[in-house]
Amino acid sequence: MKKMIVSLSPHAHGTDSVERNMYGVVIALLPALLVSFFYFGIGSAIVCATSVAACVFFEWAINKYLMKNSRTTVCDGSAMVTGLLLGFNLPSNLPVWIIILGALVAVGIGKMTFGGLGSNLFNPALVGRCFLLVSFPAQMTSWPQAGQLTSYLDAETGATPLSVMKWAIKSGDPSVLQQLPDSWHLFIGHTVEGAGSLGEVCALALLLGLAFMLWRKIITWHTPVSIILTVFVLSGLLHLSSPVYADPFAVIFSGGLMLGAIFMATDYVTSPMCSRGQLVYGVGIGVLTVVIRNWGAYPEGMSFAILIMNAFTPLINTYIKPKRFGEVVKK
């Protein structure tokens, strides 16, 4: 006869589950997905569909044939989230075979190598994105102009807002920044020459997703707010020090800052557990993003900043811990 062992009280029960939260993130990504369809048309559909299908397939195949798991995790929604986030970090004219290779690296190396969901050290979508950026820099930095709804591989490309900011700093000519759209158009969506990756053309759509996840209590405000606020403050100080640096509103509404702060830095597995740790983590990401954007080799620094701070998450969890339940605070 088996003994039933019951741990000491208190006992807590909630309605949260992996499936509920993962599909909640998918719903939160829908506004940005619809905006990407509006601006990039068939290119966006091909990239996102390929990325999601490849991530789901590789997770199923690795689970079944390499890890020999009887229980698959394909239906929990995590592979779909990884596929969508990877697709959101890619240009709309990326060839299908490169997308599939990125999905293999994201799921196979970024996630399943560590044991699957809950065990990975780094955000899988960003692992795939950075691998593609280093391996295929020409294809990954060729940004199609928005509005070419029926074009895919032959879409015309142009410079992104971050590229314009980078050139202004490099050349020392503040007049270069006149090529930027105003902050309002960056906020609601813009149609400049090179609009950037699929998930970064409309800050408003991403903020709607943030509001939904906060309402559903899928994430807390600490990480995204600390990242955005840190970048805003540091960018504002730089802008006051020299006119070659763009104004802080243009900085936070450009590139993958909102996408990374809201949907990738808040990943449960790779971010700190307690609120104080999340604030430290967010400030670290913000500082690194500003440093890489302004003085690094790449115009965008969000992906690298998140991956670097992913590596510091265990250290943050070790030294910044929540108060134990029932612990008496000494006065």
Where are any strands of DSSP class E within the chain?
A: 143-144, 157-158
What are the sequence ranges of the domains in the chain?
Answer: 19-140, 155-319
Predicted confidence band of residue 66 (pLDDT cuts 50, 70, 90): confident
Q: Quick one: tokens of 208?
A: 């709607």
d(CA 266, CA 275): 12
Half-sphere exposure at residue 152, Cβ-oriented, CA atoms within 13 angstroms: 10
* pLDDT digits 0-9 by tens, 33-44: 999 898 888 988
Write down the pLDDT at residue 304: 94
**Average pLDDT over every residue of 124-131:** 95
Look at residues 118, 131, 110, 18 and name the one whose alpha carbon lies nearest to residue 58: 110
CA gyration radius for the chain?
21
Terminal-to-terminal C-alpha distance of the chain:
50
Q: Does the structure show a pLDDT above 70 at 2?
A: no
Q: How far is CA 297 from CA 90, 128, 137, 293, in A?
A: 19, 19, 12, 8
Question: What does DSSP assign to residue 178?
Answer: G
Name the β-bridge partners of 157. Answer: 144
- Residue 269 · residue 262 · CB < 8 Å: no
* pLDDT digits 0-9 by tens, 79-88: 999 999 999 9
Q: Which residue has the tokens 């959101």?
A: 88
Q: Which residue has the tokens 């075979």?
A: 97
Does this model's pTM top 0.85? My answer is: yes
d(CA 132, CA 99): 8
d(CA 254, CA 200): 7
DSSP assignment string, 239-286? HHH-TTSPPHHHHHHSTTHHHIIIIITT-TTTS-SSHHHHHHHHHHHH
d(CA 197, CA 99): 13
